[in-house]
Amino acid sequence: MSRTFLMLIRRDLLLAHRQGGGSLLAIAFFVLVVSLFPLGVGPAPEMLERIAAGTIWVAALLSVLLSLDRMFQADLEDGSLDQLALLPIPLALVVLAKTIAHWLTTGLPLTLTAPLLGLLMQLSPDAYGALVAGMLLGTPILSLIGAIGAALTVGVRRGGVLLTLIVTPLYIPILIFGVSAVEAAAQGFAISAHMLFLSALLSGTIVIAPIAAAWSLKLALD
Amino acid sequence: MSRTFLMLIRRDLLLAHRQGGGSLLAIAFFVLVVSLFPLGVGPAPEMLERIAAGTIWVAALLSVLLSLDRMFQADLEDGSLDQLALLPIPLALVVLAKTIAHWLTTGLPLTLTAPLLGLLMQLSPDAYGALVAGMLLGTPILSLIGAIGAALTVGVRRGGVLLTLIVTPLYIPILIFGVSAVEAAAQGFAISAHMLFLSALLSGTIVIAPIAAAWSLKLALD
Amino acid sequence: MHRFANPTRFLRLAAAVLPFSAAVAALCLGAGLVWGLFFAPPDYQQGDTVRIMFIHVPSAMMAMGVYAGMAISSAIALIWRHAIADLIAKASAPIGATFTFICLLTGSLWGKPMWGTWWVWDARLTSMLIMLFIYLGYMALWQAFDDQTKAARAAAILALVGAINLPVIKFSVEWWNTLHQPASLITMEGPKIHESLLWPLLLMIVGFGAYYLTVLIFRVRAEIHQRRTRMLRMAQADRHNAMQAAD
Amino acid sequence: MQGQVSTAAAVLEGRDLAALRGERLIFANLDFTVSAGELLKLVGRNGAGKSTLMRMIAGLVTPFAGQISWHGSPVRDDPDGFCADMIYAGHQDGLKTALSAAENLDLFARLRGIRSQPADQALAAFGIADLADLPVRYMSAGQRRRVSLARLLVAPASLWLLDEPLTALDTSAIEQLGSVVDAHRDGGGMVIAATHADLPGSPGKVLEIVPPDPFEDDAEPSA
Amino acid sequence: MQGQVSTAAAVLEGRDLAALRGERLIFANLDFTVSAGELLKLVGRNGAGKSTLMRMIAGLVTPFAGQISWHGSPVRDDPDGFCADMIYAGHQDGLKTALSAAENLDLFARLRGIRSQPADQALAAFGIADLADLPVRYMSAGQRRRVSLARLLVAPASLWLLDEPLTALDTSAIEQLGSVVDAHRDGGGMVIAATHADLPGSPGKVLEIVPPDPFEDDAEPSA
Ligand code: HEM
Ligand SMILES: Nc1ncnc2c1ncn2[C@@H]1O[C@H](COP(=O)(O)OP(=O)(O)OP(=O)(O)O)[C@@H](O)[C@H]1O
Ligand SMILES: Nc1ncnc2c1ncn2[C@@H]1O[C@H](COP(=O)(O)OP(=O)(O)OP(=O)(O)O)[C@@H](O)[C@H]1O
Ligand SMILES: [Mg+2]
Ligand SMILES: [Mg+2]
């Protein structure tokens, strides 16, 4: 069982790699979206500093959103989702493995890129820790919630945009806590409460999301 | 020829409608992204007013980006792109028809929604005209440039994200001019220069983009 | 089979050019660096930080120049289906992207003492950042196709479309008033830089150009050899299959 | 509608199965049995419900009525045990086009945990050993089909479910599939195949799927 | 490799064609002719290049060498005129699953400008008149194939290109296709079909695609 599980993660990483620099493109999109804002909003540094945390988090959220689309869709289209569903392990574990692979190829690289964007957006030096810690806890939740949305909309007409609509509202709490942690840190306050909340959310979703997503996938295959 | 052309536009509109409220979803995404900002940045009105134009334009740009993905992909996957390419009219006209349909289902509804979001973001009353006029001229350019990107990446691994990477840089001039028109109007300046620039850009791309996209599509079918 | 345009002519030309370009690159870069870093006088305003210029300006010029070259060879490849032109464009991209990156890096290193910040969102800096993305997109597009002939044509179309960014970068300092300083080297009235800085700078520029040419030749050669290996392997596989089928 | 009951003990048994698609009853009161070494051919006109039954047996579609049992106990009670001993080759290939043929097969075997034959050998059985390292993306329709059928040989399973396996295959590949199926049955394996053409090799039982009588009372879905 | 030259004047003619896929020569020096009323069957093992040739004739794939002419003049000179008189039914159905069968056919006929038969009649010829208003999404593999073949009847064209038309069809549908093809040929139409199984109806010419000799010098791509 655990060998199959690890093998599934490796499979998705291999595919992401073969299908052309998965994480690199996610990072590029992240940087691009963040740089759109100064262009739109204007370059005044004190202005940028104020919107820095929000912009970086929103961009991370959009980058994850954009990459969710293909989480199950590609496997459905070529029939390999049938094969995954027929593996002799529970479908929820398959989903968990795919979600971990998704995080490793998007959430993690985004987290590692975030400080650089902080520099571009004139983020206050005290806030970098909170930004990275928040994203380290928050991005796995994004992948997990995203897995539910991706499973619900897989094989559905206009799935991509529908997915966005379903998932974005669920992302908002994470956005709010992530951003307020950064702002608290910038003003010298403690961020342990924020981190505690994100950790609790993570432990909750890591249990619930794979099960919910597995149910939804079964519907798509039926 | 012109009957086939009009029929092609009708076809895509019909499909967008049948495949589940195409425009509605684009609008919803647009509204969602804009409303993330007061959440991420905080609700102070003077702050919102300063970032209003930029945020609305960036959100419109992202909504269009997100909808480009399926412009040719769905037709490629089910083989109807072959049939479209074999119609007895030049492929560039087919592309133009599809682009017009794309604009009618995304750019136009976004333009019509934008004033509402202006209200939400405390946009200065003088600026609404510039916002709508700019988007009316700018969103067709987004669809046209997007068609090139969509055609280049159709059928390609990780096409969606690659598309974004290719197209976003090309969108930036439109973003900058659209936003600065709104800001000029808010400060009581004339915006005719901005509109002239956008019109010129539109006339240029309407000629070049369908041809470039048609070339690229031929590659995907080859 | 002209599509695999006989590359021997290119290879011969490359072999002839290579020693010169390598020598010019080594000489100019060596002399320029020593002159610029140790002998050129510090600027009366900027002090020693002005020496960043000797890397920054040549890499900025090369970033744009390489892109222009890439766009031209893409056009040639599209119109005349010239295989070597494709390879030149492909081989140029990573070099150009590196120059762009160096320009951004040295620019922000310079920006910290000059403007008090690593980065500002002014038109020139931003358009340079965009150029980096166009380079990356171009390279990613090559990677995204397995079929090299298709990849070549798609990438060529993108290179041409992306070329509109070039004038935007070049004239950004004039169209928008920005922090970045306007052109002082290549202007209508001739260079506006003091001679003591101008000469090492020119040396560096020539050195960067020769360096680009040298690396380009190496990369194109590698591409040609790779393609040959691929063709030989395929021919071998076909023969093997034919022999098997005959048994 | 019934398959003939064979003399050997049935390993796989479907009883009183009914399928609903889009609120329409596709088939009902369907029974079948498959014992060790048997081949069950599903036939029926286009749209009769062959693919639906196939997916139902695999466990992908839930029966609207009836029950499927494996070695005497309902599949529902231990789906993972059943999955471990069954391979489903559906309409779609289920191949990753970015990976080579050998990589696809290796992945399949590793995910299932046990490997019965190396990928090369399985590909050779379908006459495409020389394409082992070619990405599936480059393959023709028939070549892809061969790779997807080669999966049957890389992981052990006693039940094979083949939905229109002959699609796009040329005559030599059809012969090869026939002998692969025969060898599997000789070793006690079972095969269920839905196909319009003839599968070469020793003949098997036939189950014809016919639409339910719309006037029969208890076949009505609302009943 | 050559098709036999027929006595009637050739309408479609391919001369000295070669195809390159992924920098590899698939076939070379291929010649064929098709005259009014003729059926040309493409045969060859899996991966021989039947689909490639089909797409090349349709104008989707550019020939690496050689030339195709239509009524004596190169297709390249007037692709639109050729397209207006040709229907290509490829591997993929080219149907929009959100639309019903009738809507799909109507769309096809309207885009081409001229309609030869109403959709219902075309669907009836393939025995699925009752499915006219069912969205294609809900159809089985064979039903979809029938809809996609019904396209041949809604718009006039003298050349039909059929790539593995028999895939997923049951015997009755195969018979129907056979008679549709015969009727088309009787009216002077031409058909090129790539298929591994036999198409019923009056026989046609056969063109076998064989791989180029890898030992022959000028077939070497690096030459
Ligand atoms: C990351 C930040 C920067 C970027 C992306 C950047 C980019 C560029 C570009 C694209 C050029 C154009 C070269 C040409 O027109 O041929 C250039 C030239 C130049 N840059 Fe920067 N630059 C940056 C920061 C700076 C800073 C901080 C300074 C010093 C105050 C500076 C001084 C110059 C000078 C003196 C030139 C030569 C202008 C000429 O002679 O035409 N740059 N830079
Ligand atoms: N993009 C590509 N790159 C490399 N090889 C390719 C590519 N596309 C097709 N091929 C190869 O070209 C050959 C011809 O493919 P084609 O689909 O025309 O065969 P086919 O005769 O239709 O076979 P089938 O009977 O299996 O459908 C195959 O061997 C295939 O592997
Ligand atoms: N989601 C759905 N909603 C409504 N009807 C459906 C749906 N899916 C399938 N059907 C119908 O169910 C029937 C059975 O389909 P199935 O694919 O099982 O047929 P099949 O026997 O495999 O046919 P074929 O030989 O054409 O492959 C078809 O008549 C089809 O129209
Ligand atoms: Mg079926
Ligand atoms: Mg084929």
Q: How much is the ipTM here?
A: 0.86
Residue C11 in any domain: the answer is no
Mean pLDDT of B50-72: 88
> Which residues form ligand 3's pocket by a CB distance below 6 Å?
D 21-22, 24, 26, 44, 46-52; E 138-143, 168, 170
Which residues touch D109 (CB under 8 Å, ≥6 apart)?
D115, D116, D119, D154, D155
Measured in degrees and rounded to the nearest 5, phi and psi for residue D21 equal -130, 125
Q: Under an 8 A CB cutoff, do D60 and A78 touch?
A: no
Which percentage of chain C shows pLDDT scores above 70? Answer: 84
Closest-CA residue of C relative to E45 is C245
Report the pLDDT value the prediction gives residue C188, as an integer from 0 to 100.
Answer: 57
pLDDT digits (tens, 9 = 90+) for D156-213: 999 999 999 999 999 999 999 999 999 999 999 999 999 988 888 888 899 999 888 7
Report the pLDDT value the prediction gives residue C2, as an integer from 0 to 100.
Answer: 40
Closest-CA residue of D relative to E142 is D46
CA angle A51, A52, A58 (to 5 degrees): 85
Report the pLDDT value the prediction gives residue D223, as an integer from 0 to 100.
Answer: 36
Which percentage of chain B shows pLDDT scores above 90? Answer: 54
pLDDT digits (tens, 9 = 90+) for B193-216: 899 999 999 999 999 999 999 999
Closest Cβ opposite residue C117 in set A21, A25, A45: A45
Q: What distances in angstroms separate CA C112 from CA A44, C48, C98, one per listed residue? A: 16, 14, 21
Encoded tokens for C108: 């922000």
Tell me if E212 CB under 6 Å of ligand 2.
Answer: no
Report the pLDDT value the prediction gives residue D138, as an integer from 0 to 100.
Answer: 85
Confidence of residue D27 (pLDDT cuts 50, 70, 90): very high
Q: Under an 8 A CB cutoff, do D143 and E46 touch?
A: yes
Confidence of residue B2 (pLDDT cuts 50, 70, 90): confident
Q: What is the DSSP string of D166-210?
A: TTT--HHHHHHHHHHHHHHHHTT-EEEEE-SSPPPSS--EEEE--
Ligand 2 center from residue E16 Cα (angstroms): 19
Is pLDDT of E120 > 90?
yes
Chain E CB contacts of D174 below 8 Å: 196
Chain B CB contacts of E95 below 8 Å: 78-80
Measured in degrees and rounded to the nearest 5, phi and psi for residue E111 equal -65, -35
Q: Under an 8 A CB cutoff, do B153 and C168 touch?
A: no
pLDDT digits (tens, 9 = 90+) for D34-83: 999 999 999 999 999 999 999 999 999 999 999 999 999 999 999 999 99
Is pLDDT of D217 > 80?
no
Partner D, chain C 114-153, Cβ-Cβ below 8 Å: 146
Tell me if E23 CB under 6 Å of ligand 2.
Answer: no
DSSP element (H, E) containing D43: strand D39-43
Closest Cβ opposite residue C150 in set B148, B212, B222: B222
pTM: 0.88
Residue in B10, B82, B222 to test binding to E, most E beta-carbons within 10 Å: B82
Instruction: Give the pairing type, strands D159-163 and D86-89.
Output: parallel
Is pLDDT of C190 > 80?
no
Confidence of residue D89 (pLDDT cuts 50, 70, 90): very high
pLDDT digits (tens, 9 = 90+) for A169-210: 899 889 989 999 998 998 889 999 999 999 999 999 999 999
D83 touches chain A (CB under 8 A): yes
Report the pLDDT value the prediction gives residue A4, as an integer from 0 to 100.
Answer: 92
CA of residue C191 relative to chain centroid, distance: 24
Mean pLDDT of E78-99: 93
DSSP element (H, E) containing D29: strand D24-35
Helices and strands: H and E segment counts in chain C:
7, 0
Mean pLDDT of E122-138: 93
Report the pLDDT value the prediction gives residue A141, as an integer from 0 to 100.
Answer: 97
Tell me if D138 CB under 6 Å of ligand 2.
Answer: yes
Give the number of whichever ligand sits closest to the CA of residue D142.
2
Could you tell me the residue range of the domain that residue C215 belongs to?
Answer: 47-181+197-246
Report the pLDDT value the prediction gives residue A201, as an integer from 0 to 100.
Answer: 95
Is pLDDT of D4 > 70?
no
Average pLDDT, chain C: 84
Q: How many CB atoms lie within 10 A of CB D206?
A: 12
Q: Under an 8 A CB cutoff, do C140 and A45 touch?
A: no
Mean pLDDT of C116-126: 79
Please choose, from the candidates C89, C114, C96, C126, the residue with its C-alpha nearest in 3D space to the C-alpha of residue C212. C96
Closest-CA residue of E relative to C224 is E222
Contact yes or no for B144/B108 (Cβ under 8 A):
no
Report the pLDDT value the prediction gives residue C189, as an integer from 0 to 100.
Answer: 62
Report the pLDDT value the prediction gives residue E95, as an integer from 0 to 100.
Answer: 94
Which residues touch A87 (CB under 8 Å, ≥6 apart)?
A4, A94, D83, D111, D112
* Highest mean predicted confidence (pLDDT) among C8-22, C103-117, E25-39: E25-39
Mean pLDDT of E19-48: 91
pLDDT digits (tens, 9 = 90+) for B15-42: 988 876 567 778 888 898 888 777 766 7
Q: Under an 8 A CB cutoff, do A88 and D112 touch?
A: yes
Report the pLDDT value the prediction gives residue E222, as an integer from 0 to 100.
Answer: 42
Confidence of residue D214 (pLDDT cuts 50, 70, 90): low
Amino acid at D181: V
Chain C CB contacts of B169 below 8 Å: 130, 133-134, 137, 162, 165
Confidence of residue A217 (pLDDT cuts 50, 70, 90): very high
Report the pLDDT value the prediction gives residue D219, as an integer from 0 to 100.
Answer: 44
Q: How many CB atoms lie within 10 A of CB E217?
A: 7
Encoded tokens for C86: 């494709």
Domain total of chain C: 1
Q: What distances in angstroms separate CA E199 from CA E3, E36, E170, one per listed residue? A: 18, 19, 12
A176 touches chain B (CB under 8 A): yes
Report the pLDDT value the prediction gives residue E24, as an integer from 0 to 100.
Answer: 80
Is pLDDT of A216 > 90?
yes
Is pLDDT of C85 > 60?
yes
What order do you get walking across the sheet with D73-74 strand by strand? D24-35, D10-21, D65-70, D73-74
Is pLDDT of D124 > 90?
yes
Chain E CB contacts of D143 below 8 Å: 46-47
Tell me if D141 CB under 6 Å of ligand 2.
Answer: yes
Measured in degrees and rounded to the nearest 5, phi and psi for residue E88 equal -110, 120
Cα dihedral E141, E144, E148, E153 in deg (nearest 10):
120
* Measured distance CA(E173)–CA(D194) in Å, rounded: 16
Q: Under an 8 A CB cutoff, do E214 and C238 touch?
A: yes
Report the pLDDT value the prediction gives residue E85, as an integer from 0 to 100.
Answer: 94
* Measured distance CA(E94)–CA(E40) in Å, rounded: 23
Q: What distances in angstroms separate CA A109 from CA A12, A24, A139, B177, one per listed residue? A: 16, 8, 10, 32
Q: Where are the domains of chain B?
A: 2-221
Confidence of residue C88 (pLDDT cuts 50, 70, 90): very high
* Measured distance CA(E54)–CA(E69) in Å, rounded: 14
Ligand 2 center from residue B54 Cα (angstroms): 50
Mutate to test the pocket of ligand 2, among E25, E51, E161, E163 (most ligand atoms within 8 A of CB): E51
Report the pLDDT value the prediction gives residue B113, as an integer from 0 to 100.
Answer: 95
* Measured distance CA(D192)–CA(D43) in Å, rounded: 11
Amino acid at D204: G
Residue C236 CB burial class (10 angstroms; 0-12, 13-18, ≥19): exposed
Residue C22 in any domain: the answer is no
Give the number of whichever ligand sits closest to the CA of residue D42.
3
Mean pLDDT of B62-82: 88
Tell me if E167 CB under 6 Å of ligand 2.
Answer: no
Confidence of residue C4 (pLDDT cuts 50, 70, 90): very low
D135 touches chain C (CB under 8 A): yes
* Measured distance CA(B34)–CA(B37) in Å, rounded: 6
Q: How many CB pairs under 8 A join B and C?
A: 50
Q: Under an 8 A CB cutoff, do A3 and D113 touch?
A: yes
Q: Under an 8 A CB cutoff, do D140 and E196 touch?
A: no
Confidence of residue C144 (pLDDT cuts 50, 70, 90): confident
Tell me if D174 CB under 6 Å of ligand 2.
Answer: no
